[in-house]
Amino acid sequence: MAMICFRKSIISRPISKVLPSLGVRNVSTQDRLEPYSKFEFFKVNKVADHVIQVEFSRPEARNALPMKAWHEMREIFSRLNHDVHFRAAVLSGQGKMFSAGIDLSSFAEIAAYPSSDPSRKALSYRKIIQDLQDCVKSLNVCAKPVIAAVHNGCIGAGVNIAGACDIRYCSQDAYFQIKEVLVGLAADVGVLQFLSKSVGNHSLLRELVFTGRKFDCNEAKELGLVNRVLSDQAKTIETAIQTAKTIASISPVAVQGSKVNLNFSMNHSVDDGLAFIATWNAAMLQSEDTPKSVMAAASKGDPPTFDDL
């Protein structure tokens, strides 16, 4: 009976209150960020409650990405996907440019496959391309919303990466270039797939893809690549962080469930999407976050706070 009462008392109390009584220590910001501190080409900081900023940190090379940087990016966003504390991320670039895209050294690394047999080379290249695709997809499949804050140049792979984000803001000096055709390639790590499903002006998209020409913030907004244009880099990042803070203040059950269902619906029929969310919400409507949100809205009092997942 004592054990039953003990369990009931735990179940009836918020998990944040239970953990200290069970001897589980509170986790500091430093401890939460420690897994994100080991990367060579990225800097990760907590910028608000439940919000991190992920920065390309190779400004001396215009944030061009060697192969190791792609793998670091995947590790960061895969880790964020499973992180119970952080609920939104802002992706930005240090220095003068968001990203110049893939580092040219990566092409040399890819071309270094020793066999001269075309079929073996093709299989090797296919594995490399799929690996890079998986690195970009890590932003999209991460359940936490990711906001791109683009300033100045966003070129080639930079556009692929921004296109995988959920929300995209840019500064007035931003310019973009889907450059792959100019080096004899069809873009192959996501931009054709992500943007063809998310932008509103397909005629403009095809022009930009087929010509590889640069386009500015105004055309980026007309295309639907970005939805807000801010005055400068600082204001763009500030606005992205503010949006991330708003997202992080809302029920993580609701926000992350919304992203999962949006992603599912992009690749399935309306009927499939409706069936998926019906099953999803059959479980999620039992969350304590729903009555908390409803009661706060009805009372017009302080906004609710939500436990980590």
Q: What pTM, to 2 d.p., does this model score?
A: 0.89
> pLDDT tens digit string along 63-113?
999 999 999 999 999 999 999 999 999 999 999 999 999 998 777 777 776
Is the pLDDT at 9 greater than 60? The verdict is no
Domain count, the chain: 2
Strands (E), 100-245: 146-150, 153-155, 167-171, 175-177, 214-216, 228-230
**Percent of the chain topping pLDDT 70:** 91
Q: What is residue 100's predicted lDDT score, i.e. its pLDDT?
A: 97
**Structural domain contains residue 258:** yes
Do 30 and 68 fall into the same domain?
yes
Do 211 and 295 fall into the same domain?
no
Q: What is residue 65's predicted lDDT score, i.e. its pLDDT?
A: 96
User: pLDDT class for 26, splitting at 50, 70, 90?
Assistant: low
Go through the chain and tell me how many residues it has: 309
Do 94 and 75 fall into the same domain?
yes
115/121 Cα distance (integer angstroms): 7
User: Which residue range is the domain that position 134 belongs to?
Assistant: 18-249
Q: What is residue 10's predicted lDDT score, i.e. its pLDDT?
A: 37
Pairing between strand 51-56 and 42-48? antiparallel
Task: Write out the H or E segment, with its range, that includes residue 44.
Answer: strand 42-48
**Structural domain contains residue 220:** yes
Long-range contacts (CB closer than 8 Å, 24 or more residues apart) made by 118-126: none
Do 212 and 239 fall into the same domain?
yes
Q: Do the beta carbons of residue 153 and residue 171 sit within 8 Å? A: no
What is the arrangement of strands in the sheet containing 42-48, beginning at the earlier edge strand?
42-48, 51-56, 88-93, 146-150, 167-171, 228-230
Is the pLDDT at 17 greater than 80? The verdict is no
> pLDDT tens digit string along 112-160?
766 788 898 889 889 999 999 999 999 999 999 999 999 999 999 999 9
**Structural domain contains residue 278:** yes
Query: What's the mean per-residue pLDDT of the chain?
Result: 90
Pairing between strand 175-177 and 153-155? parallel
Query: In this structure, what CATH number is given to the domain that contains residue 278?
Result: 1.10.12.10
Q: Is 75 helix (H, G, I), strand (E, B) or coil?
A: helix
Q: What is the DSSP string of 176-202?
A: EE--GGGGT----SSHHHHHHHH-S-H
**Structural domain contains residue 9:** no
